[in-house]
Every structure is written in structure tokens, then in C-alpha cells.
Structure 1
């Protein structure tokens, strides 16, 4: 009798753990799908408002500074929503926008005496 009760408790606990794990996996899959959808929307907007050269530059920046590229994309989307983007943004204009977001570097010079 005791063994049957223990086995029943084990099975219930195992079923609870499996259902919790399955729910967590579904939630992760849904979050990944939402992130992929959001990224696709951003890329579609960038194709509309950036010239090919500017898109290439932004892709290069994304490799080195992903957080800067994300901030620039968000800023460009806000500008588009406010109606401040006329036509496509070229490479030169994107450079000036990037300079505002790029962290300033400190040059350290060591002089020998």
C-alpha cells in the first residue's frame, strides 16, 4: 500500500514537472517568434528608408556595436513615425547619426622620458 502511494505521488510530480517544462518551452518559442517578427519588421522599414550603402554601413556597425545599431534603428523608426524622414537616408546622413550614438574613445598616449 505504501509503495503504491509513493508511486502515485511520483507520477503526479513527474507529470507536473513535465507540464511546467512544456509550458516554459512554449513561452520561449512564442517569445522567439515575436522577436523574429519584430526584427523582420525593423529590417523591412530599414529597406524602405535607407539606401543600400547606408544599410551596409548599419550592418557593419551591428557586427561591432549591436547596441548602437539597435539604438540607431529605433531612432530612425521614431523619426519616420514623426514624419521627419523625407525620402531615403543616404550613407553620409547615416554617418552623422552614427556619430551621435557612437561612444567617444579616449586616446591614451604614453611618452617615454
Structure 2
């Protein structure tokens, strides 16, 4: 899809949301202002996706989408880093799949792994307590 097609889709979706928002207000249902907030979040998500489409090659975007299916938090972190790099002017060209892999490895290395520590209470049958019953 090119930018013109995406813009047409966005406009159609925006009109659809406006129509739904107007119908909800006329019927008196829903939370006041809730439709505006949902619409704003939708617009922000669309703007974010449009920026990502501009800075990612299709293969890299597909990989990021697959990562989102498995680890949504990691995909969000990578997206945030990509957007930050783009806004600061550090990206000179579209990000390739290989560059995305490098960025994923960098995010994975900086992320601390969670550790699970199991502490067990001593039970009545522990060997350490056997010497207490010697007569």
C-alpha cells in the first residue's frame, strides 16, 4: 500500500468513528467524553503505525508484527526506540530486517532477566533436625 491508499483508509475510518460517536451521543449511552478519548487513542495509534511504516522496510515490519504476537512488551520497546531514533534524525534510511534484529538483540541484552527464587521452609522430616532427638 502506498501513502495515498493509507490516507484514504484513515479518512474513511475517521468518518466511521465520527458517525459512531454522534450516534452514541444522540442515544445518551456510554460514558461522556469516552468516545473522544477512544477516538484520540485510535488516532495516536494510527499516527504511530504510519510513522513505523515510513521507517521500516516491509520485511522488518512483518518481523516486528510477529514479535508483537509473542512478546507485546518487547515489540513496544523496540517501536519506541525506533521512533525516538527517527525523531532525533539518527535514521538515514529505512530500517532493514537485519538492523531490526540487531536492535532486538540490544534491547534483549539491556533487559534484565527475571529471576525466580524458591525458598523452602524446613519441614518436620528434615535431616538437619535428626540430631535433636538423639538420646
Per the normalisation by structure 2, the TM-score is: 0.56
The answer to which structure has the higher helix fraction is 1
* Aligned match of 2:24: none
Is there any run of 5+ residues in structure 2 with no aligned partner, and where? 1-27, 115-135
How much does 1:66 deviate?
A: 1.1
Per the normalisation by structure 1, the TM-score is: 0.66
* Aligned match of 1:61: 67
**Could you tell me how far apart the structure 1 residues matched to 2:106 and 2:37 are?**
31
How much does 1:27 deviate?
A: 2.6
* Aligned match of 1:43: 49
Does 1 or 2 have the higher relative contact order (CA < 8 Å, sep 6+)? 1
Deviations 1:12-57 (A, max 9, x none): xxxxxxxxxx697133222211111111011111111100000000
* Aligned match of 1:18: none
User: How many pairs does the alignment contain?
Assistant: 85
Q: Structure 1 stretches (4+) deviating beyond 2 angstroms?
A: 100-106
**Could you tell me how far apart the structure 1 residues matched to 2:55 and 2:104 are?**
15
**Could you tell me how far apart the structure 2 residues matched to 1:23 and 1:76 are?**
40
The alignment yields a C-alpha RMSD, in angstroms, of 2.1
Is there any run of 5+ residues in structure 1 with no aligned partner, and where? 1-21, 107-113
